[in-house]
């Protein structure tokens, strides 16, 4: 059994204990006695699998339970504070105001919801969160006509040129130029032979300065399928459920070389503590309009996206250059992708795309600073709706990704059509 699976099973026991004892005094000393030799090991394990400290997780679960009672029950605030583990009514009111900037009574009458579900992650990679120093490095570019396995091609070519290289090797995807794809290598030994680099096809650019940042890291075997799965888990699953969000610092892959070939990688995702909580609100009639295309089967999302971009680029290029809101909905095998357009804009009919206006009605809207896994967010909204007495039309669920800040740092809004069952 893998280390990740063992850690996950032990953590599941601990999480069940937390869930069953939220009203109690859950301190880290008590939790450590359940199965951990030290506070430090508990802290690392909990961060690795949930992305939260124990204290932060307990705080959010208590608040989520308390706010659900405030919204849906007729219990007094004093009773709710006692049921949910707060030391006093004042402590509950303080927690609500600090997190949501409203009073409990304002939350009860408002259209916003706070929801932090119990962690239910599956056995996966172990993630470490720490402050890391990225050293001063030389940045060189490797170009290739094929994108598949370009990383190994770049590293292998470099090690062929410098078989005795003793420095560290970092990398990340670069920008495509013309018909060639690019992978960037970062070398800690900045005194390598420039002429030899050029002979082996590398383009030398510049030195990058040393810097410190907080990173979430994963170690993985040098296998393309495993690397892609690890990045997907780190960004689309672990990060979205954690207390962190992506930052503008660069991400890296570091190559561990043995006998002249890269055998493992360490993935570095730059993160920071989230500035706000994931929000759920109930709205009516979004008033949204998109130009969309659909595709089925292999690579469907990329095909549908490219169809929309190509159509608009040829006829309405200003929309592609100015619109920052992207549409996505999907079923098991079909993706519908689009770009938001103005409600009054006119478009020429085309067999490849269509103009789509979101149906009027009530929608739960989940807002997050992290672009998480589509299915996970849809599942969370569906579960939340049903827990709060709402019927869900799962076929109408869709997401909007906001690129106002950067296409590398998208914000998410997931829309779930609902109605209240009056039977």
CATH 3.20.80.10 positions along the chain are 128-273, 279-420
Distance CA 366, CA 380 (A): 9
Contact 202, 138 (CB under 8 A): no
Q: What is the DSSP code string of 392-416?
A: E-GGG-EEEEE-SS-TTS-EEEEEE
Q: What are phi and psi of 59, to 5 degrees?
A: -60, -45
Q: In the CATH hierarchy, which fold is given to the domain comprising 3-113?
A: Arc Repressor Mutant, subunit A (1.10.10)
CATH 3.20.80.10 for domain 279-420, yes or no, is yes
Which of 126, 297, 289 has the alpha carbon at shortest distance from 220?
Answer: 126
Report CA-CA distances (Å) from 381 to 49, 59, 135: 22, 21, 42
Q: How far apart are the first and last CA of the chain?
A: 49
Q: How many CA atoms does the CB half-sphere of 208 hold within 13 Å? A: 20
Q: Which helix (H) or strand (E) holds 329?
A: strand 325-330
Q: In the CATH hierarchy, which fold is given to the domain comprising 128-273?
A: Multidrug-efflux Transporter 1 Regulator Bmrr; Chain A (3.20.80)
Report CA-CA distances (Å) from 48 to 17, 234, 309, 379: 18, 11, 39, 23
- Please give the pLDDT value at position 375: 81
Q: Which helix (H) or strand (E) holds 174?
A: none
Report CA-CA distances (Å) from 256 to 138, 200, 220, 222, 310: 18, 21, 10, 9, 40
Is pTM, for the whole model, over 0.75? no
Where does residue 120 rank: exposed (0-12), middle (13-18), buried (19+ CB within 10 A)?
A: exposed
The structure tokens 């589509």 sit at 374
Report CA-CA distances (Å) from 223 to 123, 174, 226, 330, 378: 19, 20, 5, 29, 30
- Please give the pLDDT value at position 130: 87
Long-range contacts of 101-105 (CB under 8 A, 24+ apart): 104/70, 104/77
Instruction: Name residue 272's beta-bridge partners.
Output: 245
Which of 89, 65, 60 has the alpha carbon at shortest distance from 76?
Answer: 89
The first and second tokens of residue 112, run together, are 């916003």
Which of 142, 140, 160 has the alpha carbon at shortest distance from 150?
Answer: 142
Report CA-CA distances (Å) from 224 to 103, 205, 264, 351: 50, 27, 11, 37
DSSP 3-state of 234? helix
- Please give the pLDDT value at position 233: 85
Q: Which helix (H) or strand (E) holds 325?
A: strand 325-330
pLDDT tens for the chain, 423 residues long, are: 444 445 556 677 788 888 888 888 777 666 666 666 677 777 778 888 788 888 888 998 899 889 888 987 888 999 999 989 898 999 999 999 988 889 999 988 887 778 787 876 665 677 888 899 999 999 999 999 888 889 999 999 999 999 989 999 999 999 888 788 999 999 999 999 999 999 999 999 999 999 999 999 999 999 989 999 899 888 877 887 788 888 888 999 999 999 889 999 999 999 988 766 667 888 888 889 999 999 998 889 889 999 999 998 888 888 888 888 999 999 878 999 999 998 777 777 678 899 989 988 899 998 877 666 788 788 888 888 877 778 888 889 999 998 877 666 678 899 999 987 655
Helices in 192-257 by DSSP H: which ranges?
194-199, 224-232
Which of 164, 167, 163 has the alpha carbon at shortest distance from 138?
Answer: 167
- Please give the pLDDT value at position 5: 45
Distance CA 292, CA 305 (A): 8
Which of 100, 95, 126 has the alpha carbon at shortest distance from 113?
Answer: 100
DSSP 3-state of 204? strand
CATH 1.10.10.60 positions along the chain are 3-113
């Amino acid at each position: 059994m893998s280390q990740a699976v063992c850690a996950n099973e032990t953590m599941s026991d601990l999480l069940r204990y937390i869930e069953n004892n939220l009203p109690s005094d859950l301190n880290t000393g008590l939790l450590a006695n359940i199965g951990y030799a030290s506070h430090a090991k508990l802290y690392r394990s909990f961060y690795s699998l949930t992305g939260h400290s124990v204290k932060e997780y307990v705080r959010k679960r208590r608040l989520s339970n308390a706010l659900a009672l405030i919204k849906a029950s007729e219990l007094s605030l004093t009773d709710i504070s006692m049921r949910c583990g707060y030391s006093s009514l004042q402590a509950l009111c303080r927690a609500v105001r600090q997190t949501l900037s409203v009073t409990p009574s304002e939350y009860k009458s408002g259209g916003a919801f706070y929801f932090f579900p119990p962690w239910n992650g599956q056995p996966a990679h172990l993630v470490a969160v720490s402050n890391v120093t990225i050293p001063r490095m030389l940045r060189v570019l490797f170009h290739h006509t094929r994108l598949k396995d370009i990383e190994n091609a770049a590293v292998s070519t470099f090690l062929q040129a410098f078989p005795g290289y003793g420095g560290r090797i970092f990398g990340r995807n670069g920008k495509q130029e013309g018909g060639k794809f690019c992978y960037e290598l970062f070398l800690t030994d900045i005194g390598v032979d420039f002429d030899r680099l050029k002979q082996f096809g590398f383009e030398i650019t510049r030195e990058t300065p040393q810097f410190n940042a907080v990173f979430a890291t994963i170690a993985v075997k040098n296998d393309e399928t495993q690397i892609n799965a690890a990045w997907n888990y780190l960004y689309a699953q672990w990060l979205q459920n954690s207390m962190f969000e992506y930052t503008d610092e660069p991400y890296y892959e570091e190559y561990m070389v043995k006998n002249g070939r890269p055998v493992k990688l360490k993935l570095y995702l730059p993160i920071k503590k989230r500035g706000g909580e994931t929000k759920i609100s109930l709205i009516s009639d979004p008033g949204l309009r998109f130009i969309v295309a659909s595709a089925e089967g292999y690579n469907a999302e990329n095909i549908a996206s490219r169809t929309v971009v190509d159509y608009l680029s040829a006829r309405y290029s200003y929309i592609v250059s100015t619109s920052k809101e992207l549409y996505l909905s999907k079923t098991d095998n079909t993706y519908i992708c689009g770009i938001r357009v103005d409600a009054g804009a006119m478009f020429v009919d085309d067999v490849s795309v269509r103009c789509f206006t979101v149906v009027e009605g009530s929608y739960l809207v989940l807002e997050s600073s992290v672009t998480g896994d589509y299915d996970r967010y849809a599942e969370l909204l569906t579960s939340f709706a049903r827990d709060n007495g709402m019927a869900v039309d799962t076929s109408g669920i869709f997401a909007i990704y906001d690129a106002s800040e950067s296409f590398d740092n998208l914000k998410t809004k997931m829309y779930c059509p609902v109605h209240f069952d009056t039977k």
